[in-house]
Amino acid sequence: MTSTRMFEVIIAGSNGQLPIAYPNSNGLDALKVMRALSTQGFRSTAETTALGITERLGLADMEAIYADQLDSALDDVQCLVERITQDIARLRDITIDPMNIVFGDNPAFEIRPASDGNLFNVLNKERGNVSVHYIHEGVKCDVFAQDSLEPIDTVSVQTTELVKLMESKIIT
């Protein structure tokens, strides 16, 4: 049964533009409503705009539409993460030289050949680089100043120490 609390949406615009939603004070975000309505086939036309048609949907209806959209978006994200993971593994298998994946204007992850083991580098043109190397004995992190071949700082943690920390639930 539909909730008695109502959400009012005024559909406006023309030529197939997305609807514009004006929420009342029940807390739903206008942008979320607009996205949900557009995926459910609500499209405004010059005729409906001229008539000033107001659609009334129950709050439960709007929450169900939005929940479906959220579930779909989460599925899309999970599929994307799985594909990226597979692509990085494939890149590591076929590359001979390290490759960079750039994020935004500056930071990058260096993807190294699989033969280099579990060595990961985060690069930053302005702030230097960080190298994380997982080895049998534990993990070693080196911090490099930009254009330096020698680390300015190194942290090493033995596997036994990492296990103790995980068992004591200090880290997860």
Over the stretch 8-21, which tens digit does the pLDDT of each residue have? 444 444 444 444 44
**Mean predicted confidence (pLDDT) in 54-71:** 63
What integer best gives the mean pLDDT of the chain?
72
| Rounded percentage of the chain residues whose pLDDT exceeds 70 | 60
Residues facing 121 on adjacent strands: 110, 131
CB–CB of 59/26 below 8 Å?
yes
Q: Following DSSP, what letter does each residue of 49-77 receive, concatenated? A: HHHT-EEEEEHHHHHHHHHHHHHHHHHHH
pLDDT at 146: 85
- Summarised one tens digit per residue, pLDDT across range 104-150 is 878 899 999 999 888 889 999 888 999 999 888 889 999 999 888 89
DSSP H or E segment with residue 30: helix 30-39
Report residue 36's pLDDT band, with 50, 70 and 90 as the boundaries.
low
Q: How far apart are CA 111 and CA 80, in angstroms?
A: 18
- 138-144 sheet: strands from edge to edge: 99-102, 108-111, 118-124, 128-135, 138-144, 153-158
More confident residue, 135 or 69: 135
